Structure 1
Amino acid sequence: MTVSITGRSDTEAAQPKQLRSRRWQRGRIMRRAPWWIAVVLMLIGCLIWIYPFLWMISASLKSTIEIFSAGLQLIPEEWRFSNYAEAWDEANFGRYLINTIIVTVVTVIVVVVRCSMAGYVLGRFAFRGRKAVMGVLIATIFVPVGYTIIPVVDITMRLGLLNSLTGMIIALSGGAQVASILLYAGYFHGVPKELEEAAIMDGAGFWAVFSKVMWPLARPVTATVTLLTFLGTWNAFFLPLVFTLSRPDLRTVSVGMMAFVSERSTDWAGMAAAATISLLPIVALFIVLQRQFVEGIAGAVKQ
């Protein structure tokens, strides 16, 4: 042990430094404590949110008896992958999935084209009656879908398209789609006018300006509208049910779930397997478009 000039040993001189280091570490922990608490709470919330989805996947691999006897247990005692094969073949769910893909894809295309053009006109041009049109569009948000089902079915029946996928597509894509139109209108309204004026100076007409200049710029909004329309159409039940009452072969996946319910029993395992299959395209699409979805919502709200 050495002694310093002041008469204190090296150990005694190092004690204040160690004390300051401990205080600094303790203060750092206290400052980061709210952050760790927030992380823990968010993890708990995520687990609570995702647990029903995990339970549904687990139920799709169990027998109907085990679903009720196992309670909240996620790991099956006996893995029954045959539930997926039975749901796909015996319940004709493969056909329902094809019908849903056709209806959803065509509906998304029609809605994106129609809403982008309507949003462009409402967002970029000032014309007489524009406020009235916007007011009517916003008012339709408060009209329940059930109130429009009768005129929609009547019009489709008069066109001879009631029991067909074409009629279903027209009914699903022919709504007001107010949210999609407003998203496009808000985005186009904030685009600098210089871009449009430069295209006009180069000789571009109305359609060329929209298709080659404005619409490509609205890619985030298009991704948002695509995702919202895909979700709404894929999960639609009321309209597809009415349009397929006399044509079970035209059912979509949401209506096809009724195939697992009989008068005396319900195939819960098969229904869980079918629900898992039907959710996979939605999850995949959201993973692909999640970044554009957030940018589209944020950009339209900011404008």
Structure 2
Amino acid sequence: MALQAKRLREIVITLILTPIALIWIYPFLWMVSASFKTNNEIFRSGTSLIPDQFTFENFQRAWVEANISQYFLNTALIAIGSVMLVVMTTSMMGYALGRYSFPGKRIVIGIFIATVFLPKGYTIIPIFELISNLELDGSLLGVILAQSGGANVIFILLFMGYFSQLPKELEEAAIVDGAGFLRVFFQIMLPLSKPIIATVVIMQFIASWNDFLLPLVLTLARPELRTLSVGMYAFRGEYFTDWSGMAAAATIAIIPVILLFLVMQRYFIEGIAGAVKS
């Protein structure tokens, strides 16, 4: 009886969640479908997901004529650079907060948490001023530093929670063997945090890949350094919007995000589960 009740419950849950999932994924499916349609067909077919005739002209126009290929490369360089910096900085801060006690620790954590409630738009002016003073405005390095220089509180708390639950014997054994602080961190503690690293990589990559405001401001004087999110805005003119070209560009832009998640989803789930457990 218990097994039958469990199966019945699973069937009921599946029947309820399947329509919700279809509604949730419909905009993505429509975007992919629209990338194979002409602009006239998009308006004519409405919400239909099946094109009358598949055409790849939109992808060719977006990749070559709209310079999406260059924007794609810019976005990849910025996303990879910001991910590397964010993983390194947040893991170090999370390690210090999770493994060591020091005066004012709670105050530091409280200040970090308080920054979560600070709207991102409020920080755009000081970030621009800082990057300009470093003479990095109008460069990919400036965008990388701007995107990775935030507080990243969620990532720090994830690392802090994960490192805090690791046994102290790991560090003690390494110290007995003559390992210093940096060696303990890089060779022992950091490799053990693969689930959290994967979580941070995915979340930061998506945030950097889709960021619009910072790349727009920092590359305003150099259009060739635009990212995908900024470059796709070029499909919108004063009197006409190329919806099919924009859909094709958006489809191209979302492929790396999907592939990254599929490759790292196991570690991502483990990281979230470990963070909730801690």
Name the TM-score, length of structure 2 as normaliser.
Answer: 0.97
Q: Work out which of the residue numbers 192, 203, 214 in structure 2 matches 1:239.
A: 214
Partner of 1:20: none
Is 1:150 the counterpart of 2:145 in the alignment? no
C-alpha deviations, 1:13-48, integer Å up to 9, x for none? xxxxxxxxxxx9xx9978744432221222212211
Partner of 2:167: 192
Partner of 1:206: 181
Partner of 1:251: 226
Q: How large is the RMSD of aligned CA atoms in angstroms?
A: 1.5
Report the secondary structure of 1:79's partner residue: coil
Segment of structure 1 superposing worse, 94-103 or 32-41: 32-41
Partner of 2:115: 140
Partner of 2:239: 264
Q: 1:158 to 1:75 in 2, by over 3 A?
A: same
CA distance, structure 1, for counterparts of residue 195 and residue 210 of structure 2: 23
Q: Work out which of the residue numbers 104, 107, 110 in structure 1 matches 2:82.
A: 107
C-alpha deviations, 1:57-100, integer Å up to 9, x for none? 11000001110110111111121111000000000000000000
Runs of 4+ with deviation above 6 angstroms = 27-31
Code of the residue aligned with 1:168 in structure 2: it is V
Segment of structure 1 superposing worse, 209-218 or 28-37: 28-37
Code of the residue aligned with 1:131 in structure 2: it is R
Code of the residue aligned with 1:253 in structure 2: it is L
Q: 1:30 to 1:160 in 2, by over 3 A?
A: closer
Code of the residue aligned with 2:272 in structure 1: it is I
Code of the residue aligned with 2:168 in structure 1: it is K
Give runs of aligned pairs for residues 279-290 of structure 1, distance below 5 A.
279-290=254-265
Give runs of aligned pairs for residues 61-76 of structure 1, distance below 5 A.
61-76=36-51
CA distance, structure 1, for counterparts of residue 155 and residue 253 of structure 2: 24
Give runs of aligned pairs for residues 26-175 of structure 1, distance below 5 A.
32-175=7-150
Partner of 2:271: 296
Segment of structure 1 superposing worse, 125-134 or 41-50: 41-50
Structure 1, unmatched stretches of 5+, are 1-23
Partner of 2:195: 220
Code of the residue aligned with 1:265 in structure 2: it is F
Code of the residue aligned with 1:114 in structure 2: it is T
User: RCO (CA 8 Å, sep 6+): is it higher in 1 or 2?
Assistant: 2
Q: CA deviation at 1:262?
A: 1.0
CA distance, structure 1, for counterparts of residue 180 and residue 3 of structure 2: 62
Q: CA deviation at 1:283?
A: 0.5
CA distance, structure 1, for counterparts of residue 3 and residue 153 of structure 2: 50
Q: Percent identity?
A: 53
Report the secondary structure of 1:77's partner residue: coil
Q: Kindly name which structure, 1 or 2, has the bigger radius of gyration based on alpha carbons.
A: 1
CA distance, structure 2, for counterparts of residue 32 and residue 102 of structure 1: 48
Q: 1:29 to 1:204 in 2, by over 3 A?
A: closer
Structure 2, unmatched stretches of 5+, are none
C-alpha deviations, 1:99-152, integer Å up to 9, x for none? 000000010000001110110001000011211111110000000111111111
Q: CA deviation at 1:288?
A: 0.8
Report the secondary structure of 2:150's partner residue: coil
Q: 1:153 to 1:40 in 2, by over 3 A?
A: same
Is 1:274 the counterpart of 2:273 in the alignment? no
Name the TM-score, length of structure 1 as normaliser.
Answer: 0.89
Segment of structure 1 superposing worse, 34-43 or 287-296: 34-43
